[in-house]
Structure 1
């Protein structure tokens, strides 16, 4: 499969953080965010495609996000938590890549970025967010500020900025 075939088949469009996506689910049930009092969908889900060396740039959201692997090459989801600890989840087909996992969780408020392990390959994944994703709660990183806050991760932050 090539990128263009996957984009057509799943109706994907460019994502602001890099890659391609399509929202596939938005819960009709609503929850209230305690901090703001705003109503949100209880959950949302997307397809997300990384290909041709594209990566998901450093960003964070105000909800937990569960990544699910579907097809292609493994990806690395790099997470910097509130204490500055770096965790790298290797998402992939664990049946053919024993060092990979089918799912990984990024906690609300943590900075994260993702990249396909095969620069010329592709990865089709899904992301489920609860409470549901809203672009108003999406924040792209100021890469210089993030690197200054976490100098021990400066090279990785710069590479995926």
Structure 2
């Protein structure tokens, strides 16, 4: 029997991601941009990765300082949960919109917002792509402290707990 997630991990050269799942950077633009808040630092204008969820893994609550656009590639739908600036929870369903009427092929997560992702069916897999602009830097990646996130958004305690980081953030 074919193990598609294992095949994707090998074929695409994916590695474990700190937030859960597997990834590999596939693009880092040569064009450089400056951040308004740090004009002394240049960064890639855009970056892209493959991102795989499988075996019941989830993308734990985290945020980055750039917009992130998720693209569906293969597998089954993913729920992407985003807490907006007003504390409202929005759940998007990323997947094949030709097969799943309530799914979309792309989801944008605005810069600075807390978000997490999970497979709609944990027994399946999903391969997505994530494009970040300005480009992703691990120095701007923040894995949530679930207790602090729950204190800030007590109305979302259940989903925050379900998608908490698997190990204590550093």
132, 142, 159: which one pairs with 2:135?
Answer: 132
Deviation at 1:36, TM superposition (A): 1.5
Deviation at 1:83, TM superposition (A): 1.4
**Alpha-carbon separation, structure 2, partners of 1:3 and 1:129:** 24
1:47 has 2:50 as partner? yes
Deviations, residues 128-148 of structure 1 (Å, cap 9, x unaligned): 000000000000001000001
1:113 has 2:116 as partner? yes
Give the aligned length. Answer: 161
Alignment of 1:137-148 (within 5 A): 137-148=140-151
Match of 2:74 in 1: 71
TM-score by length of 1: 0.98
10, 26, 43: which one pairs with 1:8?
Answer: 10
Q: How large is the Cα RMSD of the aligned pairs?
A: 0.7
Deviation at 1:2, TM superposition (A): 2.5
**Residue ranges of structure 2 left out of the alignment (5+ in a row):** 165-170
**Alpha-carbon separation, structure 1, partners of 2:23 and 2:150:** 27
1:157 has 2:156 as partner? no
**Alpha-carbon separation, structure 2, partners of 1:52 and 1:35:** 40
Match of 2:168 in 1: none
TM-score by length of 2: 0.93
What SS does structure 1 have at the residue aligned with 2:139? helix
Deviation at 1:82, TM superposition (A): 1.8
Match of 2:125 in 1: 122
What SS does structure 2 have at the residue aligned with 1:112? strand
Deviation at 1:108, TM superposition (A): 0.2
